[in-house]
Chain A
Amino acid sequence: MTQFIIRRTFYALISLFILSVTIFAIVRLTGDPVTMLAEPGARAEDLDRLRAEWGLDRSWPVQYLTFAKNVFTGDLGKSFNYQMPVSTLYFQRLPASLQLALAATFISFIIGIPAGLISAVKVNSAWDNAGKVVALFGLAVPGFWLGLVMILIFSVWLGWLPTSGQGGILHLIMPSVALGWYFAASLLRLTRSSMLEVMRSEYIKLARLKGLPGYVVIAVHAFKNALIPVLTLAGINLVVMINAGVIIEVIFAWPGIGRLLYEGIFQRDFPLVQGVVIQAGIMIVLINLTIDILYAYIDPRIRLAK
């Protein structure tokens, strides 16, 4: 088991290395943060001064080594635009993103899981189709459009909800629905396939054969088992929502990490983009690693194979 964990950790580090090199190179290939400031009034000397101050006058390998070395010491570098450590910014924004992501996860649950359950239990019924269409709707429209239409209806026309920004629970409703609905479809699918798989399992057959009431079989025996992969997916979705809720955060002026990344990309704030991406990568890798280890713990066959 220890060997398994070591091996998986090693793989994870390789993936992170590839990720860091890729992101390092591609942000640099697409522009120059200093050029973004090159407006009349700025002078070549100012630009050179900024390049030197931001460490961009050094060669790429040197820049990368500094970056990689710093990452190992937990330092993601300093944002050009904010003149603040990226990790400080990240953790400043994290609560807002986490709040939105948790609310969105909740929304995705209440849309996706019942629809998936109905879809699995009552295959091809009208309820199944209705649930499917509702859950798939979030995936079938672009998030920005859904967000804006909601703002139009609920803020501008009806005046029920504030348009944007972080605040009370009312501020949370529209962004979390817009974000969570997108993920509902994947939950629907996984809940359904996982339920169908569980329902076909021997232990559910046995549960029925025991003469348990139908709801006990479905809601207790089957659902509890079907929930494991669903929760795994929800965990990964949560990480994605925290780090990449770009469009929804932009539409709703939500002060989260996705917007930080968005601004970083358009401003070519290299340390910011690298930092957020690496941070997200670490979270994803960690969650995958945990899942792998947990599954290996449950199923010895995985442990022995690759």
Chain B
Amino acid sequence: MTALLEVRDLQAHYVSFGGERVVKAVEGVSFTLEEGETLGVVGESGCGKTTTCQAIVNLLPPPGRIVGGSIAFAGEELTRKSQREMRHIRGAQIAMILQDPMASLNPLFSIYRQVSEPAYYHRALRGRGLRERVRELLNAVRIPSPAMRMREYPHQMSGGMRQRIVGAIALAGGPRLIIADEPTTNLDVTIQAQYLDLLKELQDKTGVAIIFITHNLGIVARMCDKLAVMYAGKIVEAGTVRELFNAPRHPYTKALLGSMPKLGSKEKLLAIPGHPPDLATLPPGCAFHPRCPEALPTCATAEPPEIQVIGSWSARCWRAEPQEISATDATTDSAKDIHAAAAVGD
């Protein structure tokens, strides 16, 4: 059986005016996602998370372009599809939830119009059927009195309600994959938790796969099955959430986990020292080596290969080694802490 989404060696670059500056936002990213699965993608701002997702739906903002690799969705190659063909994928097969619920809704159109559009264009619903569908969707995302609310406009809604409406829009076309790009960043903590619960519930109900882009590892712990850690356009470590949280192999993953506040600790947020690199002028060797506390001399000269740790667990680090079968499997203390932290939120 083919995976729902299989991304192989994806490369997406931004080429600025005249081509004198090339930003390699995504450089050789590969991952797979099965039906109904949830993948978390984490990394600092500008590491290529968002670009990867935009590449999947073939909506890179100019001057961005996919320059290599393949994206197979349910066995179909998306990189070779025209914009017109992609249109029938977007909204219908792959939906996306954007960062900012306040800004994701068009202030000049009614809720009804905005929620109904995917169903109108992809499911050819009209009139009463369409209205019924919108009501169902609003019900599903727990909008009270949907018949009345759908005549209203975004500015009449609270932030949490708007994000739920964005969720309803994502579901409207009946997609098999939802890409959620930091969907809860702008929500306050209680609403975040409610929203995540809602997403989880909807996933259970519809069996949709989700890619969760975030820099909040708490959310990953709570929502995801698999995790990919990105740094400077590459996936530096990927595996199941449990594996990575238990025994991260890549120093960057370790640093990320380390920067999370532990429950009950008085420590404030820790920053990873140094700046993320400029994607147009990457350092030679491993892109992380200038900030890496465990860097070896080779790190500065040669790029580390992808090392399969075990199963689907892989890491790009000179220090990483394949694991013996007898690896620990129990949830460690730190993983517990993480679950607890997730309950509170970021």
Point out the residues of chain A lying under 8 angstroms from B87, CB to CB.
211-214
Question: Most chain-B Cβ atoms within 10 A of its Cβ — which of A206, A213, A224, A225?
Answer: A206
Supposing A202-B99, A205-B98, A298-B155 touch, asked if A210 and B106 sit within 8 A by C-beta, the answer is no
- Shortest C-beta distance, A232 to chain B (Å), equals 14
Interface residues of A in 176-220 (CB under 8 A from B): 200-214
Q: Is the CB of A221 within 8 A of B106?
A: yes
Point out the residues of chain A lying under 8 angstroms from B90, CB to CB.
208-211
Q: Is the CB of A209 within 8 A of B95?
A: yes
Of A211, A221, A225, which is within 8 A of B91 by CB? A211
Q: Is the CB of B169 within 8 A of A206?
A: yes
Of B61, B121, B166, which is within 8 A of A212 by CB? B121
> In this assembly, does B62 line the interface, its C-beta being within 8 Å of a C-beta of chain A?
yes
- Shortest C-beta distance, A244 to chain B (Å), equals 32
Q: Is the CB of B104 within 8 A of A206?
A: yes
In angstroms, Cα B98 to Cα A244, docked, is 47
Q: Is the CB of B98 within 8 A of A206?
A: yes
In angstroms, Cα B103 to Cα A221, docked, is 13
The residue on A at minimum CB distance from B100 is: A202
Interface residues of B in 69-95 (CB under 8 A from A): 83, 86-92, 95
Q: Is the CB of A203 within 8 A of B57?
A: no
Supposing A211-B87, A211-B92, A212-B117 touch, asked if A201 and B103 sit within 8 A by C-beta, the answer is yes
In angstroms, Cα B88 to Cα A209, docked, is 10
In angstroms, Cα B121 to Cα A214, docked, is 12
Q: Is the CB of A224 within 8 A of B108?
A: yes
The residue on A at minimum CB distance from B98 is: A202
In angstroms, Cα B169 to Cα A208, docked, is 12
Supposing A123-B62, A225-B107, A225-B108 touch, asked if A210 and B99 sit within 8 A by C-beta, the answer is no
The residue on B at minimum CB distance from A300 is: B155
Point out the residues of chain A lying under 8 angstroms from B118, CB to CB.
210-211
Point out the residues of chain B lying under 8 angstroms from A212, CB to CB.
87, 91, 117, 121
The interface size bin for chain B is: 20 to 34
The residue on B at minimum CB distance from A298 is: B155
Point out the residues of chain A lying under 8 angstroms from B166, CB to CB.
206
Point out the residues of chain B lying under 8 angstroms from A207, CB to CB.
106, 117
The residue on A at minimum CB distance from B94 is: A209
Point out the residues of chain B lying under 8 angstroms from A204, CB to CB.
106
In angstroms, Cα B108 to Cα A221, docked, is 8
Q: Is the CB of B96 within 8 A of A209?
A: yes
Question: Most chain-B Cβ atoms within 10 A of its Cβ — which of A200, A208, A210?
Answer: A210
Q: Is the CB of A211 within 8 A of B99?
A: no
Interface residues of B in 54-71 (CB under 8 A from A): 57, 59, 61-62
Q: Is the CB of A203 within 8 A of B104?
A: yes
Q: Is the CB of A210 within 8 A of B91?
A: yes
Question: Most chain-B Cβ atoms within 10 A of its Cβ — which of A203, A209, A212, A298?
Answer: A209
Q: Is the CB of B106 within 8 A of A209?
A: no
Interface residues of B in 254-285 (CB under 8 A from A): none
The residue on B at minimum CB distance from A225 is: B108
Contact bitstring B163-201, A, C-beta under 8 A = 1, else 0: 000100100110000000000000000000000000000
- Shortest C-beta distance, B243 to chain A (Å), equals 31
Point out the residues of chain B lying under 8 angstroms from A202, CB to CB.
98-100, 103-104
Point out the residues of chain B lying under 8 angstroms from A298, CB to CB.
107, 155
In angstroms, Cα B105 to Cα A205, docked, is 10
In angstroms, Cα B86 to Cα A212, docked, is 10
Q: Is the CB of A211 within 8 A of B103?
A: no
Interface residues of B in 100-148 (CB under 8 A from A): 100, 103-109, 117-118, 121-122
In angstroms, Cα B172 to Cα A211, docked, is 11
Supposing A202-B100, A203-B103, A214-B83 touch, asked if A209 and B91 sit within 8 A by C-beta, the answer is yes
- Shortest C-beta distance, B263 to chain A (Å), equals 33
Question: Most chain-A Cβ atoms within 10 A of its Cβ — which of B83, B108, B122, B169?
Answer: B108
In angstroms, Cα B21 to Cα A262, docked, is 54
Q: Is the CB of A213 within 8 A of B121?
A: yes
The residue on B at minimum CB distance from A124 is: B17
Point out the residues of chain A lying under 8 angstroms from B105, CB to CB.
203, 206
In angstroms, Cα B99 to Cα A201, docked, is 11
Contact bitstring A30-64, B, C-beta under 8 A = 1, else 0: 00000000000000000000000000000000000
A contact set with B: CB distance below 8 Å: 123, 200-214, 221, 224-225, 298
Please provide the 6 A-B residue pairs with the shortest distance between their CB atoms, ordered closest to farther.
Answer: A211-B91, A211-B90, A202-B103, A210-B91, A203-B106, A209-B96
Name 16 extra pairs, CB < 8 A, besides A210-B117, A225-B106: A202-B99, A203-B105, A203-B107, A205-B98, A206-B104, A207-B117, A208-B59, A209-B57, A209-B59, A210-B95, A210-B173, A211-B90, A211-B118, A211-B173, A213-B87, A221-B106
Q: List 10 A-B contacts (CB under 8 A).
A: A201-B103, A202-B98, A204-B106, A205-B98, A206-B96, A206-B104, A209-B91, A210-B172, A224-B109, A298-B155
